[in-house]
A and B are shown apart, each in its own frame.
Chain A
Amino acid sequence: MLEAALDGFLGILTLESFGWMTLGLLLGSAVGFLPGIGGPSTLAIMLPFVMTMKDPYAVIALLVGFDAVGNTASAFTSILISVPGGAGSQATILDGYPLAKQGQAARALSASFMASLLGGLIGPVVLLASLPFLRPLVLSFGSPEFFVMCLWGITMVGVLSGNAPIRGLLAGILGVLIATVGLDPKSGVPRFVFDQTYLWEGINLVLVALGMFAVPEMIDLASRKSTIAESQEFGEGFMEGIKDCFRHWWLLVRASAVGLWVGFLPGLGSSVADWFAYAHAVQTEKNPEKFGKGDIRGVIAPEAANNSKEAGDYIPTLAFGIPGGTSTALILVAFTAVGIQPGPDMLTSQLNLTFAVIWTLTISNIIAVALCMALARPLAKACFVPFYTLVPPILVFVFIGAFAANFSSYDLITLLFFSFLGFLLRRYGWPRPPLILGLVLGAKMELYLWLSVARFGMEWLLRPGVVALLVLVAASFAFPIWKERLEKKRALAA
Protein backbone atom coordinates (compact mmCIF):
# COMPACT_ATOMS: atom_id res chain seq x y z
CA MET A 1 0.00 0.00 0.00
CA LEU A 2 2.88 2.37 0.82
CA GLU A 3 4.36 1.80 -2.60
CA ALA A 4 1.01 2.62 -4.24
CA ALA A 5 0.74 5.76 -2.11
CA LEU A 6 4.18 6.87 -3.23
CA ASP A 7 3.42 6.04 -6.88
CA GLY A 8 0.23 8.07 -6.71
CA PHE A 9 2.05 10.99 -5.09
CA LEU A 10 4.85 11.02 -7.66
CA GLY A 11 2.35 10.61 -10.51
CA ILE A 12 0.50 13.72 -9.40
CA LEU A 13 3.64 15.75 -8.84
CA THR A 14 5.09 15.42 -12.34
CA LEU A 15 5.27 18.76 -14.12
CA GLU A 16 2.50 17.80 -16.54
CA SER A 17 0.06 16.49 -13.91
CA PHE A 18 0.75 19.36 -11.54
CA GLY A 19 0.10 21.80 -14.39
CA TRP A 20 -3.25 20.14 -15.12
CA MET A 21 -4.13 20.14 -11.43
CA THR A 22 -3.37 23.87 -11.22
CA LEU A 23 -5.55 24.49 -14.27
CA GLY A 24 -8.30 22.34 -12.74
CA LEU A 25 -8.28 24.09 -9.40
CA LEU A 26 -8.18 27.54 -11.03
CA LEU A 27 -11.14 26.61 -13.22
CA GLY A 28 -12.97 25.05 -10.27
CA SER A 29 -12.39 28.16 -8.17
CA ALA A 30 -13.56 30.44 -11.01
CA VAL A 31 -16.70 28.36 -11.49
CA GLY A 32 -17.38 28.39 -7.76
CA PHE A 33 -16.77 32.12 -7.66
CA LEU A 34 -19.15 32.97 -10.51
CA PRO A 35 -22.84 32.56 -9.67
CA GLY A 36 -24.85 30.87 -12.40
CA ILE A 37 -22.21 28.46 -13.66
CA GLY A 38 -22.44 25.06 -12.04
CA GLY A 39 -19.67 22.50 -11.56
CA PRO A 40 -21.51 19.78 -13.55
CA SER A 41 -22.13 22.18 -16.45
CA THR A 42 -18.44 23.04 -16.66
CA LEU A 43 -17.42 19.40 -16.32
CA ALA A 44 -19.77 18.57 -19.18
CA ILE A 45 -18.06 21.24 -21.30
CA MET A 46 -14.63 19.88 -20.34
CA LEU A 47 -15.43 16.22 -21.11
CA PRO A 48 -14.85 16.23 -24.88
CA PHE A 49 -11.40 17.75 -24.37
CA VAL A 50 -10.44 15.56 -21.42
CA MET A 51 -11.40 12.38 -23.25
CA THR A 52 -8.62 12.99 -25.78
CA MET A 53 -5.99 12.94 -22.99
CA LYS A 54 -3.88 9.83 -22.55
CA ASP A 55 -2.22 10.09 -19.13
CA PRO A 56 -4.55 8.87 -16.32
CA TYR A 57 -2.66 10.93 -13.73
CA ALA A 58 -3.22 14.09 -15.78
CA VAL A 59 -6.94 13.34 -16.06
CA ILE A 60 -7.20 12.69 -12.32
CA ALA A 61 -5.25 15.87 -11.56
CA LEU A 62 -7.42 18.03 -13.81
CA LEU A 63 -10.86 16.67 -12.96
CA VAL A 64 -10.46 15.85 -9.28
CA GLY A 65 -8.58 19.14 -8.81
CA PHE A 66 -11.48 20.94 -10.44
CA ASP A 67 -14.11 19.07 -8.45
CA ALA A 68 -12.39 19.41 -5.08
CA VAL A 69 -12.26 23.19 -4.84
CA GLY A 70 -15.51 24.55 -6.31
CA ASN A 71 -17.15 24.92 -2.92
CA THR A 72 -14.26 26.90 -1.43
CA ALA A 73 -14.49 29.92 -3.73
CA SER A 74 -18.29 29.86 -3.84
CA ALA A 75 -18.33 31.30 -0.31
CA PHE A 76 -17.29 34.71 -1.71
CA THR A 77 -20.62 35.50 -3.32
CA SER A 78 -22.64 33.75 -0.59
CA ILE A 79 -21.10 35.98 2.07
CA LEU A 80 -20.68 39.22 0.15
CA ILE A 81 -23.75 39.46 -2.05
CA SER A 82 -26.08 36.77 -0.67
CA VAL A 83 -25.99 34.78 -3.91
CA PRO A 84 -24.54 31.27 -3.70
CA GLY A 85 -21.67 30.79 -6.14
CA GLY A 86 -22.48 27.07 -6.14
CA ALA A 87 -25.07 24.68 -4.79
CA GLY A 88 -22.85 23.81 -1.82
CA SER A 89 -22.78 27.29 -0.29
CA GLN A 90 -26.46 28.05 0.04
CA ALA A 91 -26.59 27.54 3.79
CA THR A 92 -23.52 29.74 4.21
CA ILE A 93 -25.67 32.74 3.26
CA LEU A 94 -27.80 32.38 6.40
CA ASP A 95 -25.05 33.61 8.71
CA GLY A 96 -22.35 34.71 6.27
CA TYR A 97 -24.35 37.54 4.74
CA PRO A 98 -25.52 38.96 8.10
CA LEU A 99 -21.88 38.89 9.24
CA ALA A 100 -20.89 40.83 6.11
CA LYS A 101 -23.64 43.36 6.78
CA GLN A 102 -22.19 43.80 10.28
CA GLY A 103 -18.83 44.69 8.70
CA GLN A 104 -17.28 41.27 9.39
CA ALA A 105 -17.05 39.91 5.85
CA ALA A 106 -13.30 39.33 6.24
CA ARG A 107 -13.89 37.22 9.36
CA ALA A 108 -16.66 35.20 7.67
CA LEU A 109 -14.54 34.63 4.57
CA SER A 110 -11.42 33.54 6.43
CA ALA A 111 -13.50 31.23 8.66
CA SER A 112 -15.13 29.71 5.59
CA PHE A 113 -11.77 29.15 3.87
CA MET A 114 -10.20 27.58 6.95
CA ALA A 115 -13.28 25.37 7.49
CA SER A 116 -13.13 24.39 3.82
CA LEU A 117 -9.46 23.50 4.17
CA LEU A 118 -9.90 21.41 7.31
CA GLY A 119 -13.05 19.74 5.98
CA GLY A 120 -11.22 19.10 2.72
CA LEU A 121 -8.35 17.44 4.60
CA ILE A 122 -10.51 15.32 6.90
CA GLY A 123 -12.30 13.89 3.83
CA PRO A 124 -9.27 12.29 2.13
CA VAL A 125 -8.02 10.92 5.49
CA VAL A 126 -11.32 9.06 5.96
CA LEU A 127 -11.25 7.93 2.31
CA LEU A 128 -7.78 6.53 2.97
CA ALA A 129 -8.88 4.85 6.20
CA SER A 130 -11.84 3.20 4.47
CA LEU A 131 -9.70 1.39 1.87
CA PRO A 132 -8.84 -1.69 3.99
CA PHE A 133 -12.54 -2.22 4.80
CA LEU A 134 -13.75 -1.64 1.26
CA ARG A 135 -11.38 -4.06 -0.43
CA PRO A 136 -12.80 -7.37 0.96
CA LEU A 137 -16.35 -6.09 0.57
CA VAL A 138 -15.94 -5.20 -3.09
CA LEU A 139 -14.05 -8.40 -3.92
CA SER A 140 -16.89 -10.51 -2.48
CA PHE A 141 -19.37 -9.00 -4.93
CA GLY A 142 -20.50 -10.84 -8.08
CA SER A 143 -22.51 -9.55 -11.03
CA PRO A 144 -25.89 -9.94 -9.22
CA GLU A 145 -24.70 -7.80 -6.29
CA PHE A 146 -23.22 -5.20 -8.64
CA PHE A 147 -26.50 -5.04 -10.58
CA VAL A 148 -28.51 -4.41 -7.41
CA MET A 149 -25.88 -1.90 -6.21
CA CYS A 150 -26.40 0.04 -9.46
CA LEU A 151 -30.16 -0.19 -8.95
CA TRP A 152 -29.70 1.11 -5.41
CA GLY A 153 -27.58 4.01 -6.68
CA ILE A 154 -30.25 5.04 -9.17
CA THR A 155 -33.01 4.60 -6.58
CA MET A 156 -31.16 6.75 -4.05
CA VAL A 157 -30.41 9.47 -6.57
CA GLY A 158 -33.94 9.27 -7.93
CA VAL A 159 -35.80 9.51 -4.66
CA LEU A 160 -33.51 12.00 -2.98
CA SER A 161 -32.92 14.59 -5.69
CA GLY A 162 -35.67 17.13 -6.11
CA ASN A 163 -38.23 16.16 -3.44
CA ALA A 164 -40.01 14.13 -6.15
CA PRO A 165 -39.27 10.44 -5.64
CA ILE A 166 -41.37 8.97 -8.45
CA ARG A 167 -40.28 11.56 -11.00
CA GLY A 168 -36.67 11.02 -9.91
CA LEU A 169 -36.93 7.28 -10.43
CA LEU A 170 -38.61 7.75 -13.79
CA ALA A 171 -35.79 10.08 -14.83
CA GLY A 172 -33.27 7.40 -13.79
CA ILE A 173 -35.12 4.77 -15.83
CA LEU A 174 -35.22 7.11 -18.83
CA GLY A 175 -31.45 7.48 -18.49
CA VAL A 176 -30.98 3.69 -18.59
CA LEU A 177 -33.24 3.46 -21.65
CA ILE A 178 -31.27 6.21 -23.42
CA ALA A 179 -28.13 4.14 -22.68
CA THR A 180 -29.60 1.26 -24.69
CA VAL A 181 -29.88 3.33 -27.89
CA GLY A 182 -27.65 1.92 -30.64
CA LEU A 183 -26.56 -1.51 -31.82
CA ASP A 184 -26.63 -4.09 -29.03
CA PRO A 185 -22.94 -5.02 -28.63
CA LYS A 186 -23.69 -8.74 -28.23
CA SER A 187 -26.66 -9.54 -30.48
CA GLY A 188 -26.26 -6.68 -32.99
CA VAL A 189 -29.94 -5.75 -32.72
CA PRO A 190 -30.45 -2.06 -33.60
CA ARG A 191 -32.22 -0.49 -30.63
CA PHE A 192 -34.23 2.77 -30.86
CA VAL A 193 -32.18 3.94 -33.87
CA PHE A 194 -35.13 5.00 -36.08
CA ASP A 195 -33.22 4.01 -39.24
CA GLN A 196 -30.50 6.59 -38.46
CA THR A 197 -26.96 5.28 -38.81
CA TYR A 198 -25.83 8.20 -36.62
CA LEU A 199 -27.54 6.46 -33.67
CA TRP A 200 -25.91 3.04 -34.24
CA GLU A 201 -23.06 3.85 -31.85
CA GLY A 202 -25.43 5.14 -29.22
CA ILE A 203 -25.91 8.59 -27.79
CA ASN A 204 -22.75 10.28 -26.61
CA LEU A 205 -22.98 11.08 -22.91
CA VAL A 206 -21.23 14.40 -23.43
CA LEU A 207 -24.14 15.63 -25.54
CA VAL A 208 -26.68 14.58 -22.93
CA ALA A 209 -24.68 16.15 -20.09
CA LEU A 210 -24.26 19.42 -21.99
CA GLY A 211 -27.94 19.49 -22.89
CA MET A 212 -29.16 18.50 -19.46
CA PHE A 213 -27.01 20.86 -17.39
CA ALA A 214 -25.11 23.53 -19.30
CA VAL A 215 -27.86 24.80 -21.58
CA PRO A 216 -30.70 24.92 -19.00
CA GLU A 217 -28.37 26.80 -16.59
CA MET A 218 -27.61 29.32 -19.32
CA ILE A 219 -31.31 29.64 -20.15
CA ASP A 220 -31.99 30.34 -16.49
CA LEU A 221 -29.15 32.85 -16.21
CA ALA A 222 -30.15 34.66 -19.42
CA SER A 223 -33.86 34.65 -18.53
CA ARG A 224 -33.31 36.20 -15.11
CA LYS A 225 -31.06 39.00 -16.39
CA SER A 226 -30.61 39.66 -12.70
CA THR A 227 -28.68 42.51 -11.18
CA ILE A 228 -27.16 41.81 -7.83
CA ALA A 229 -27.96 43.86 -4.77
CA GLU A 230 -25.31 45.95 -3.09
CA SER A 231 -22.02 44.24 -2.34
CA GLN A 232 -20.74 44.42 1.22
CA GLU A 233 -17.48 45.93 2.39
CA PHE A 234 -14.56 43.58 3.07
CA GLY A 235 -14.29 44.67 6.71
CA GLU A 236 -11.86 43.50 9.38
CA GLY A 237 -11.16 40.37 11.44
CA PHE A 238 -9.44 38.14 8.90
CA MET A 239 -7.26 36.39 11.53
CA GLU A 240 -10.19 36.17 13.91
CA GLY A 241 -12.07 33.99 11.42
CA ILE A 242 -9.18 31.52 11.27
CA LYS A 243 -9.08 31.35 15.06
CA ASP A 244 -12.85 30.79 15.11
CA CYS A 245 -12.36 27.52 13.26
CA PHE A 246 -10.01 26.21 15.95
CA ARG A 247 -12.29 27.52 18.72
CA HIS A 248 -15.16 25.49 17.25
CA TRP A 249 -13.02 22.50 16.19
CA TRP A 250 -15.46 19.88 17.46
CA LEU A 251 -18.30 21.38 15.40
CA LEU A 252 -15.96 21.40 12.41
CA VAL A 253 -15.14 17.70 12.85
CA ARG A 254 -18.81 16.76 13.23
CA ALA A 255 -19.84 18.87 10.21
CA SER A 256 -17.09 17.18 8.16
CA ALA A 257 -18.44 13.78 9.21
CA VAL A 258 -21.92 14.85 8.08
CA GLY A 259 -20.45 15.94 4.73
CA LEU A 260 -18.61 12.64 4.30
CA TRP A 261 -21.72 10.61 5.00
CA VAL A 262 -23.77 12.71 2.57
CA GLY A 263 -21.07 12.24 -0.07
CA PHE A 264 -20.90 8.50 0.51
CA LEU A 265 -24.64 8.04 -0.10
CA PRO A 266 -25.34 8.23 -3.84
CA GLY A 267 -27.81 10.97 -4.67
CA LEU A 268 -27.17 13.45 -1.92
CA GLY A 269 -25.17 16.29 -3.42
CA SER A 270 -23.35 19.38 -2.17
CA SER A 271 -26.64 21.24 -1.86
CA VAL A 272 -27.66 18.80 0.85
CA ALA A 273 -24.37 18.52 2.72
CA ASP A 274 -24.31 22.19 3.71
CA TRP A 275 -27.95 22.22 4.86
CA PHE A 276 -27.58 19.00 6.83
CA ALA A 277 -24.46 20.34 8.55
CA TYR A 278 -26.15 23.67 9.25
CA ALA A 279 -29.20 21.89 10.68
CA HIS A 280 -26.91 19.68 12.77
CA ALA A 281 -25.12 22.77 14.13
CA VAL A 282 -28.41 24.47 15.03
CA GLN A 283 -29.70 21.33 16.75
CA THR A 284 -26.61 20.51 18.76
CA GLU A 285 -24.82 23.77 19.55
CA LYS A 286 -25.44 26.03 22.52
CA ASN A 287 -27.44 29.28 22.01
CA PRO A 288 -29.14 28.15 18.78
CA GLU A 289 -31.15 31.40 18.71
CA LYS A 290 -28.00 33.19 17.47
CA PHE A 291 -27.98 31.23 14.19
CA GLY A 292 -29.28 33.16 11.21
CA LYS A 293 -28.27 36.50 12.68
CA GLY A 294 -24.56 36.37 11.93
CA ASP A 295 -23.12 33.47 13.95
CA ILE A 296 -19.72 32.32 12.74
CA ARG A 297 -20.67 28.69 13.54
CA GLY A 298 -23.29 28.98 10.77
CA VAL A 299 -20.45 29.58 8.32
CA ILE A 300 -18.03 26.96 9.66
CA ALA A 301 -20.44 24.00 9.65
CA PRO A 302 -21.69 24.19 6.01
CA GLU A 303 -18.28 25.09 4.59
CA ALA A 304 -16.55 22.17 6.33
CA ALA A 305 -19.30 19.79 5.19
CA ASN A 306 -19.41 20.80 1.54
CA ASN A 307 -15.68 20.21 1.13
CA SER A 308 -15.45 16.93 3.06
CA LYS A 309 -18.41 15.72 1.02
CA GLU A 310 -16.25 15.72 -2.11
CA ALA A 311 -14.00 12.99 -0.67
CA GLY A 312 -17.06 11.01 0.47
CA ASP A 313 -18.33 11.12 -3.12
CA TYR A 314 -15.29 9.21 -4.31
CA ILE A 315 -15.77 6.22 -1.97
CA PRO A 316 -18.67 4.60 -3.92
CA THR A 317 -17.33 5.99 -7.21
CA LEU A 318 -13.92 4.37 -6.92
CA ALA A 319 -14.85 1.22 -5.01
CA PHE A 320 -18.08 0.22 -6.76
CA GLY A 321 -18.07 2.34 -9.92
CA ILE A 322 -21.26 3.97 -8.69
CA PRO A 323 -20.94 7.76 -8.67
CA GLY A 324 -21.92 9.59 -5.50
CA GLY A 325 -23.26 12.59 -7.44
CA THR A 326 -23.58 14.29 -10.81
CA SER A 327 -20.02 15.60 -10.90
CA THR A 328 -18.54 12.21 -10.04
CA ALA A 329 -20.83 10.62 -12.66
CA LEU A 330 -19.25 12.83 -15.31
CA ILE A 331 -15.76 12.25 -13.93
CA LEU A 332 -16.45 8.51 -14.05
CA VAL A 333 -17.17 8.81 -17.78
CA ALA A 334 -13.84 10.56 -18.35
CA PHE A 335 -12.01 8.00 -16.18
CA THR A 336 -13.45 5.12 -18.18
CA ALA A 337 -12.56 6.84 -21.46
CA VAL A 338 -8.88 7.05 -20.49
CA GLY A 339 -8.69 3.49 -19.14
CA ILE A 340 -9.27 4.03 -15.42
CA GLN A 341 -11.77 1.36 -14.45
CA PRO A 342 -13.50 2.19 -11.15
CA GLY A 343 -14.45 -0.94 -9.23
CA PRO A 344 -12.40 -3.72 -7.61
CA ASP A 345 -9.31 -2.85 -9.71
CA MET A 346 -9.05 0.54 -8.01
CA LEU A 347 -8.41 -1.27 -4.71
CA THR A 348 -5.97 -3.81 -6.13
CA SER A 349 -4.03 -3.36 -9.37
CA GLN A 350 -4.84 0.36 -9.77
CA LEU A 351 -4.46 1.34 -6.12
CA ASN A 352 -1.87 3.94 -7.15
CA LEU A 353 -4.60 5.78 -9.08
CA THR A 354 -6.86 5.73 -6.01
CA PHE A 355 -4.02 7.32 -4.07
CA ALA A 356 -3.59 9.85 -6.88
CA VAL A 357 -7.22 10.87 -6.29
CA ILE A 358 -6.58 11.16 -2.54
CA TRP A 359 -3.44 13.24 -3.06
CA THR A 360 -5.15 15.49 -5.60
CA LEU A 361 -8.04 16.12 -3.20
CA THR A 362 -5.56 17.07 -0.49
CA ILE A 363 -3.11 19.17 -2.48
CA SER A 364 -5.70 21.04 -4.54
CA ASN A 365 -7.62 21.96 -1.38
CA ILE A 366 -4.51 23.41 0.23
CA ILE A 367 -3.58 25.42 -2.87
CA ALA A 368 -7.15 26.66 -3.46
CA VAL A 369 -7.54 27.86 0.12
CA ALA A 370 -4.12 29.57 0.02
CA LEU A 371 -5.14 31.32 -3.23
CA CYS A 372 -8.51 32.38 -1.84
CA MET A 373 -6.89 33.76 1.30
CA ALA A 374 -4.17 35.59 -0.60
CA LEU A 375 -6.55 37.06 -3.16
CA ALA A 376 -9.54 37.57 -0.87
CA ARG A 377 -9.54 41.36 -0.98
CA PRO A 378 -9.28 41.87 -4.78
CA LEU A 379 -11.64 38.96 -5.49
CA ALA A 380 -14.21 40.44 -3.14
CA LYS A 381 -14.32 43.50 -5.37
CA ALA A 382 -14.84 41.48 -8.54
CA CYS A 383 -17.73 39.39 -7.31
CA PHE A 384 -20.29 40.34 -9.90
CA VAL A 385 -19.96 39.54 -13.57
CA PRO A 386 -22.96 40.57 -15.69
CA PHE A 387 -24.86 37.79 -17.44
CA TYR A 388 -24.17 39.14 -20.94
CA THR A 389 -20.46 38.48 -20.53
CA LEU A 390 -21.03 34.89 -19.37
CA VAL A 391 -23.88 33.54 -21.51
CA PRO A 392 -22.45 33.93 -25.05
CA PRO A 393 -18.95 32.49 -24.39
CA ILE A 394 -20.39 29.55 -22.46
CA LEU A 395 -22.92 28.82 -25.22
CA VAL A 396 -20.01 28.87 -27.68
CA PHE A 397 -18.09 26.36 -25.51
CA VAL A 398 -21.22 24.20 -25.26
CA PHE A 399 -21.79 24.11 -29.01
CA ILE A 400 -18.14 23.54 -29.85
CA GLY A 401 -17.90 20.89 -27.10
CA ALA A 402 -20.96 19.13 -28.54
CA PHE A 403 -19.56 19.24 -32.06
CA ALA A 404 -16.27 17.82 -30.79
CA ALA A 405 -18.10 14.72 -29.49
CA ASN A 406 -18.22 13.07 -32.94
CA PHE A 407 -17.43 15.95 -35.34
CA SER A 408 -20.87 15.48 -36.85
CA SER A 409 -23.57 18.05 -37.59
CA TYR A 410 -26.05 15.65 -36.02
CA ASP A 411 -24.30 16.27 -32.69
CA LEU A 412 -25.71 19.79 -32.66
CA ILE A 413 -29.24 18.49 -33.30
CA THR A 414 -28.79 15.94 -30.50
CA LEU A 415 -27.54 18.73 -28.24
CA LEU A 416 -30.62 20.85 -29.00
CA PHE A 417 -32.91 17.87 -28.37
CA PHE A 418 -31.41 17.14 -24.95
CA SER A 419 -31.23 20.83 -24.12
CA PHE A 420 -34.97 21.08 -24.68
CA LEU A 421 -35.56 17.91 -22.67
CA GLY A 422 -33.36 19.26 -19.85
CA PHE A 423 -35.21 22.56 -19.97
CA LEU A 424 -38.59 20.78 -19.72
CA LEU A 425 -37.38 18.55 -16.89
CA ARG A 426 -36.22 21.59 -14.98
CA ARG A 427 -39.34 23.60 -15.77
CA TYR A 428 -41.67 20.86 -14.53
CA GLY A 429 -39.67 19.98 -11.44
CA TRP A 430 -38.19 16.69 -12.69
CA PRO A 431 -34.70 16.07 -11.25
CA ARG A 432 -32.00 15.72 -13.90
CA PRO A 433 -29.13 14.02 -12.01
CA PRO A 434 -30.85 10.58 -11.98
CA LEU A 435 -31.13 10.67 -15.78
CA ILE A 436 -27.39 11.21 -16.12
CA LEU A 437 -26.65 8.51 -13.57
CA GLY A 438 -28.99 6.09 -15.38
CA LEU A 439 -27.18 6.85 -18.63
CA VAL A 440 -23.75 6.33 -17.02
CA LEU A 441 -24.73 3.06 -15.34
CA GLY A 442 -27.06 1.77 -18.08
CA ALA A 443 -24.57 -0.33 -20.04
CA LYS A 444 -23.05 -1.79 -16.85
CA MET A 445 -26.46 -2.63 -15.44
CA GLU A 446 -27.47 -4.39 -18.63
CA LEU A 447 -24.29 -6.46 -18.61
CA TYR A 448 -24.59 -7.36 -14.91
CA LEU A 449 -28.25 -8.28 -15.30
CA TRP A 450 -27.57 -10.48 -18.31
CA LEU A 451 -24.60 -12.19 -16.63
CA SER A 452 -26.68 -12.82 -13.51
CA VAL A 453 -29.54 -14.37 -15.46
CA ALA A 454 -27.23 -16.36 -17.74
CA ARG A 455 -25.13 -17.79 -14.87
CA PHE A 456 -27.65 -18.26 -12.08
CA GLY A 457 -31.09 -18.22 -13.78
CA MET A 458 -33.64 -16.65 -11.45
CA GLU A 459 -31.72 -17.96 -8.43
CA TRP A 460 -29.52 -14.89 -8.45
CA LEU A 461 -32.38 -13.15 -6.68
CA LEU A 462 -31.91 -15.48 -3.68
CA ARG A 463 -28.24 -14.75 -3.02
CA PRO A 464 -27.89 -13.29 0.50
CA GLY A 465 -26.04 -10.19 -0.70
CA VAL A 466 -28.72 -9.56 -3.32
CA VAL A 467 -31.55 -10.00 -0.80
CA ALA A 468 -29.88 -7.57 1.62
CA LEU A 469 -29.31 -5.01 -1.12
CA LEU A 470 -32.86 -5.41 -2.47
CA VAL A 471 -34.19 -4.66 1.02
CA LEU A 472 -32.03 -1.53 0.95
CA VAL A 473 -33.44 -0.57 -2.47
CA ALA A 474 -37.02 -1.08 -1.25
CA ALA A 475 -36.38 0.92 1.92
CA SER A 476 -34.68 3.72 -0.03
CA PHE A 477 -37.70 3.91 -2.31
CA ALA A 478 -40.46 3.53 0.24
CA PHE A 479 -39.19 5.73 3.07
CA PRO A 480 -39.21 9.12 1.26
CA ILE A 481 -42.63 8.41 -0.26
CA TRP A 482 -44.04 7.43 3.13
CA LYS A 483 -42.49 10.55 4.66
CA GLU A 484 -43.85 12.79 1.90
CA ARG A 485 -47.38 11.42 2.36
CA LEU A 486 -47.15 11.90 6.10
CA GLU A 487 -46.09 15.53 5.65
CA LYS A 488 -48.88 16.15 3.13
CA LYS A 489 -51.41 14.75 5.60
CA ARG A 490 -50.03 17.03 8.29
CA ALA A 491 -50.22 20.03 5.93
CA LEU A 492 -53.83 19.18 5.08
CA ALA A 493 -54.72 18.81 8.75
CA ALA A 494 -53.12 22.19 9.51
Chain B
Amino acid sequence: MASSGGHPKLARGCRLKATAEGDVLLMPESMLRMNGCGSEILKRCDGAHTVDEIVAELQVLYTGVELEKLNAEVESFLARLRDKMAIVEV
Protein backbone atom coordinates (compact mmCIF):
# COMPACT_ATOMS: atom_id res chain seq x y z
CA MET B 1 0.00 0.00 0.00
CA ALA B 2 1.05 3.58 -0.56
CA SER B 3 3.27 5.22 2.01
CA SER B 4 2.92 8.70 3.44
CA GLY B 5 5.05 9.93 0.58
CA GLY B 6 2.32 9.39 -2.06
CA HIS B 7 0.15 12.10 -3.61
CA PRO B 8 -3.44 10.93 -3.27
CA LYS B 9 -5.92 12.08 -5.85
CA LEU B 10 -9.61 11.43 -6.46
CA ALA B 11 -9.98 8.62 -9.00
CA ARG B 12 -11.64 9.09 -12.37
CA GLY B 13 -15.38 8.85 -12.01
CA CYS B 14 -15.35 10.15 -8.41
CA ARG B 15 -16.05 13.68 -7.36
CA LEU B 16 -16.85 15.77 -4.34
CA LYS B 17 -20.08 17.72 -4.43
CA ALA B 18 -21.12 20.43 -2.02
CA THR B 19 -24.68 20.17 -0.70
CA ALA B 20 -26.67 21.98 1.96
CA GLU B 21 -25.98 19.03 4.31
CA GLY B 22 -22.25 19.02 3.69
CA ASP B 23 -20.00 17.51 1.07
CA VAL B 24 -20.83 14.26 -0.66
CA LEU B 25 -18.38 11.99 -2.46
CA LEU B 26 -20.09 10.76 -5.61
CA MET B 27 -18.95 7.46 -7.13
CA PRO B 28 -20.37 5.50 -10.07
CA GLU B 29 -23.06 3.62 -8.18
CA SER B 30 -22.81 5.01 -4.68
CA MET B 31 -22.18 8.03 -2.53
CA LEU B 32 -20.68 8.82 0.84
CA ARG B 33 -21.55 11.78 3.00
CA MET B 34 -18.47 13.42 4.45
CA ASN B 35 -18.21 15.07 7.81
CA GLY B 36 -16.16 18.25 8.04
CA CYS B 37 -12.87 16.48 8.61
CA GLY B 38 -13.36 13.91 5.83
CA SER B 39 -14.22 16.72 3.52
CA GLU B 40 -11.08 18.69 4.47
CA ILE B 41 -8.94 15.64 3.70
CA LEU B 42 -10.63 14.91 0.38
CA LYS B 43 -10.33 18.52 -0.77
CA ARG B 44 -6.58 18.10 -0.45
CA CYS B 45 -6.51 14.86 -2.42
CA ASP B 46 -5.56 16.78 -5.52
CA GLY B 47 -2.46 14.93 -6.64
CA ALA B 48 -0.32 17.81 -5.37
CA HIS B 49 -0.41 17.28 -1.60
CA THR B 50 1.49 14.44 0.02
CA VAL B 51 -0.22 12.70 2.91
CA ASP B 52 2.21 14.44 5.29
CA GLU B 53 1.26 17.80 3.84
CA ILE B 54 -2.44 17.00 4.25
CA VAL B 55 -1.81 16.11 7.89
CA ALA B 56 0.18 19.29 8.43
CA GLU B 57 -2.61 21.43 7.03
CA LEU B 58 -5.21 19.62 9.11
CA GLN B 59 -3.16 20.30 12.22
CA VAL B 60 -3.77 23.97 11.67
CA LEU B 61 -7.51 23.40 11.38
CA TYR B 62 -7.80 20.99 14.29
CA THR B 63 -5.55 22.43 16.93
CA GLY B 64 -5.41 20.41 20.07
CA VAL B 65 -5.44 17.07 18.26
CA GLU B 66 -2.20 15.16 18.71
CA LEU B 67 -0.14 14.69 15.57
CA GLU B 68 -0.02 10.94 16.07
CA LYS B 69 -3.80 10.69 16.32
CA LEU B 70 -4.29 12.94 13.31
CA ASN B 71 -1.86 10.85 11.27
CA ALA B 72 -3.70 7.68 12.16
CA GLU B 73 -7.07 9.21 11.32
CA VAL B 74 -5.93 10.43 7.92
CA GLU B 75 -4.23 7.14 7.07
CA SER B 76 -7.25 5.05 7.99
CA PHE B 77 -9.60 7.40 6.15
CA LEU B 78 -7.47 7.20 3.01
CA ALA B 79 -7.14 3.43 3.32
CA ARG B 80 -10.90 3.04 3.32
CA LEU B 81 -11.23 5.23 0.24
CA ARG B 82 -8.43 3.35 -1.53
CA ASP B 83 -10.32 0.15 -0.83
CA LYS B 84 -13.35 1.64 -2.55
CA MET B 85 -11.11 2.71 -5.45
CA ALA B 86 -12.13 6.31 -4.82
CA ILE B 87 -8.55 7.62 -4.62
CA VAL B 88 -5.39 6.77 -6.48
CA GLU B 89 -1.77 7.73 -5.85
CA VAL B 90 0.05 9.85 -8.37
Whether both chains belong to one complex is answered with no
